[in-house]
């Protein structure tokens, strides 16, 4: 069975002190909820202190981005070897990075390969815009994003990869996809694409998250869906109460199965 994951993407929020305070409170409340992988993804500058705060805990840290090269003349960038001992996960190809920082399917693939080479699990984001959704282009577009991101990877590596399906129209809008809609794309498009590329076993292994306006109210229904293995959470991950509630609800859903 695939282990569920609640990954918090803190985006460009939280000073170092605020980040440590939030991580500490989360640790105090859900350190022992071991049926759910808990991942906190603070801004780069907060990572060392948050990692130190979570040392010896059961809560993992992730970065929100990284460069694909190991080192070099890339002003302002951070590489996988720099992150290696500080994080377990890295978010790659978030739609905000694709939209505002010109990330492409090709750079997303390079980043995923570089993360894996460094022993960091990439959380690869895919998802269509409102316009694409309304034009009926979701399936073809998302399937292509998945296949491009996984180019050059082997089926056996799918246990060390996470894909997050995040429809752009649902991110930060308060308008989440319905649980059924999200499950249809996570299963019928994302998992399907992995299967077409790497076979049934790879498709059955890979963890697929839904992201986009998830919160403590809708997470229960989302987590009962068979093809959704967790959530990539933005706004609701910035507050202790909502993040903790989402972890606990997921634990209840999985314990109940």
| Residues known to be catalytic | 94, 166
**What is the token pair recorded at 224?**
């009962």
**Could you tell me which stretch among 59-67, 80-88, 177-185, 230-238 binds ligand PGA (CB under 6 A)?**
230-238
211 is a contact residue toward ligand PGA (CB under 6 A): yes
62 is a contact residue toward ligand PGA (CB under 6 A): no
157 is a contact residue toward ligand PGA (CB under 6 A): no
214 is a contact residue toward ligand PGA (CB under 6 A): yes
Interface residue with ligand PGA among 71, 134, 172, 175 (CB under 6 A) is 172
230 is a contact residue toward ligand PGA (CB under 6 A): no
171 is a contact residue toward ligand PGA (CB under 6 A): yes
Nearest approach in angstroms of CB 173 to ligand PGA is 7
130 is a contact residue toward ligand PGA (CB under 6 A): no
* Total of residues contacting ligand PGA (CB under 6 A): 13
232 is a contact residue toward ligand PGA (CB under 6 A): yes
Binding site residues, ligand PGA, CB under 6 A: 9, 166, 171-172, 211-214, 232-236
């Amino acid at each position: 069975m695939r282990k569920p994951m609640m990954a918090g993407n803190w985006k460009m929020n939280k000073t170092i002190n605020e980040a440590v305070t939030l991580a500490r409170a989360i640790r105090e409340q859900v350190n022992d909820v071991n049926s759910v992988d808990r991942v906190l993804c603070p801004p780069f500058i907060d990572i060392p202190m948050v990692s130190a705060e979570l040392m010896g805990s059961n809560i993992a840290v992730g970065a929100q981005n990284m460069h694909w090269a190991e080192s070099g003349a890339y002003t302002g960038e951070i590489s996988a070897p720099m992150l290696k001992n500080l994080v377990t996960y890295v978010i790659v190809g978030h739609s905000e990075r694709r939209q505002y920082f010109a990330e492409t399917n090709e750079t997303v693939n390079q980043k995923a390969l570089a993360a894996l080479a460094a022993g960091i699990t990439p959380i690869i984001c895919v998802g269509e815009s409102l316009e694409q959704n309304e034009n009926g282009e979701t399936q073809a577009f998302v399937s292509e994003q998945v296949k491009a991101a996984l180019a050059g990877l082997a089926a056996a590596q799918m246990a060390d990869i996470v894909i997050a399906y995040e429809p752009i129209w649902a991110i930060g809008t308060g308008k989440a996809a319905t649980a059924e809609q999200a499950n249809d794309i996570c299963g019928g498009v994302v998992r399907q694409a992995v299967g077409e590329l790497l076979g049934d076993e790879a498709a059955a292994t890979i963890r697929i998250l839904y992201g986009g306006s998830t919160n403590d109210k809708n997470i229960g229904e989302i987590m009962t869906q068979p093809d959704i293995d967790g959530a990539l959470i933005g706004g609701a991950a910035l507050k202790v109460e909502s993040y903790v509630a989402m972890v606990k609800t997921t634990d209840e859903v999985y314990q109940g199965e």
